[in-house]
Amino acid sequence: MPLVRIDIKKHQDPTFAKRVGQLIYAAMHSTINVPENDNFQILAEHDENHFIYDPTFMGINRTDGLVIIQITLMEGRTTELKKLLYKTIAESLNTELGVRLEDVFINLVEVKRENWSFGNGIGQFAG
């Protein structure tokens, strides 16, 4: 069960963030086997005072079109699958929404299975 946080600078198209989320979910479903309907996302748009980034960190030229994606998920996927996920997300955002590859910033946060409660005040995977 991934929890996806997507942060962007305020966009002129009010559907843009939601469309980004749809593409990210599709990429997770196809590359790291996220189950159907396992889609939980927090979409946030920020003004220029609340969206700070370095435009050249690590030699990558970023613009205000930056999309910051943080995915919290259960641990255990291989490095190869993670790399495929990064590539699939970046390429789909580029192809479908015109987001520059340089403007796709992804952070995975892996947690143990027992660190989730999906509702009802219980840890469904806690032993």
Report d(CA 100, CA 93) in Å as an integer. Answer: 8
Instruction: Identify any residues that bridge with 42 across adjacent strands, giving them in sequence order.
Output: 5
Active site (catalytic) residues: 2
- Closest of 90, 81, 67, 68 to residue 110, by C-alpha: 81
Phi, psi of 5 (to 5 degrees): -115, 130
